[in-house]
Amino acid sequence: MSATISSPLTLPCGATLKNRIAKGAMTEGLGDAQNRATEAHVRLYRRWAAGGAGMLLTGNVQVDRRYMERPGNVAIDGPQSNEAIAALRNYAKAGTENDTHLWMQISHAGRQTPASVNKEPVAPSAKPLEMPGAQFGDPRAMTGAEIEDAIRRFAHVAAVARDTGFTGVQIHGAHGYLISEFLSPDVNSRTDEWGGSLENRARLLLEIVRAVRKAVGPDFPVSVKLNSADFQRGGFSHEDAIRVAAWLDAEGLDLLEISGGTYEQPRLVGLDDLTLHPEKSEPRRESTIAREAYFLEYAKDIRAAVKMPLMVTGGFRTAAGMNAALASGTMDVVGIARPLCVDTAIPAKLLSGAAAETPAYEKTLRIGPGILGPHSRFNLVKALNGWGQQGWFCLQLLRMGAGQEPDPRMGVFSAFRNYAKNEARTAAALQRP
């Protein structure tokens, strides 16, 4: 019989997900000034665990608090205090209620570390982000010793995740963060063993996967999030992704999540109209644009090259679309994210038939049409719409973490403003080592 969203899935390591719906990773910003987990994580993930998904992916947990995706990330670098370990255990206990898997997404932000966290981030090469404003500092190229240290840090965090009760890990190799930067020939111009050929550019990812597997053992789920493409000329291509996926399959990976884009080309949230450098952009396939899921067509190509389970996140809204994608055999797990910022019980509703589709608030979260014209390099109103939406969903997570209900009536412009204020406050409170 064809798989549906209600079907269980047994992974290569032997662990079983109770159904095929997973909460996709979303940035949370709920860590304290020492970047530890908090009671807010417990409140939020208890709600999500009760909501019926088979697996929950955490937001970025950083392997190095000097190079984080945003202020307020949880970071695990070096020995952890008793308080930090207790907080992680409470987090894991809440997120695994209701027979739910809770996987820790572990990451290093690389050159996409905001300047509010570190004004001199690290990257494979000293190529800065091409973004407006002074949001990100100019990176410096990592030394060989720093690369080896990063590999050890990923393994350390994975071991801590297992020891504190998380039931799996996901290595973040997408969206322009450090691993993704090494994979991209546009960002990685190294001439040593970590750059040049695809084999060299993929070395960091593969070495991290091996170190993580050694740290957690054969019976613990290890997954990777990988771009189907960077959608940027000269970047990590779809052909590259297929080859890297085959190498990951040979490593015995338990689940590969297919995504795409970077901060410069933000396809990860479907923001095609916020491309900052259209002259360097590569469009998504029209067949993919016409479907619910952003990256399903790319997953089809990867499926032909691998046997491991595949997960696709982004764009799924109807139970019929999810079941059709699963029945096709192209993918094995459906990732949904933003709908869970408003209705934490939507997985159970989809599974029971009480709901046929998820809420799609982003369709109404608009300030207004672009006003700078089609030839403007960077349309301010489109940017406010795009990043205002991001702020809107993030603020809903903050509300739930504080024990409040989501506020669907929140305006997108006020969300943009209030989210920026919250980030500034969090950055000011950040305690660096």
Question: Is residue 404 situated within a structural domain?
Answer: no
Question: Is residue 215 situated within a structural domain?
Answer: yes
Band the pLDDT of 418: cuts 50, 70, 90. Answer: confident
Question: Is residue 75 situated within a structural domain?
Answer: yes
Q: Is the pLDDT of residue 241 over 90?
A: yes
3-state SS assignment for residue 112: helix
CATH code assigned at 109: 3.20.20.70
- The share of the chain scoring above pLDDT 70, in percent, equals 85
Q: Is the pLDDT of residue 375 over 70?
A: no
Question: Is residue 400 situated within a structural domain?
Answer: no
- State the DSSP H helix or E strand holding residue 334, giving kind and residue range, or none if neither: strand 333-336
Question: Is residue 178 situated within a structural domain?
Answer: yes
**Within the chain, what is the greatest distance between any pair of CA atoms?**
56
Residue 273 has a CB neighbour count (10 Å cut-off) of 13
- Dist. CA 419–CA 427, nearest whole Å: 12
Number of domains in the chain: 1
Task: State residue 371's pLDDT score.
Answer: 41
Question: Is residue 414 situated within a structural domain?
Answer: no
Task: State residue 406's pLDDT score.
Answer: 94
- Dist. CA 43–CA 56, nearest whole Å: 14
Task: State residue 302's pLDDT score.
Answer: 96
Task: State residue 425's pLDDT score.
Answer: 80
Q: Is the pLDDT of residue 274 over 90?
A: no
Question: Is residue 418 situated within a structural domain?
Answer: no
Tens digit of each residue's pLDDT (9 = 90 or more) over 89-127: 999 999 999 999 999 999 999 999 999 999 999 999 999
Rg of the chain over CA atoms, in angstroms? 20
Mean pLDDT within 166-173: 98
> What residues make up the domain containing 30?
9-365
Band the pLDDT of 364: cuts 50, 70, 90. Answer: low
Question: Is residue 373 situated within a structural domain?
Answer: no
Q: Which amino acid is at 56?
A: L
Mean pLDDT within 19-25: 97
- Dist. CA 394–CA 388, nearest whole Å: 10
Write down the pTM of the prediction. Answer: 0.90
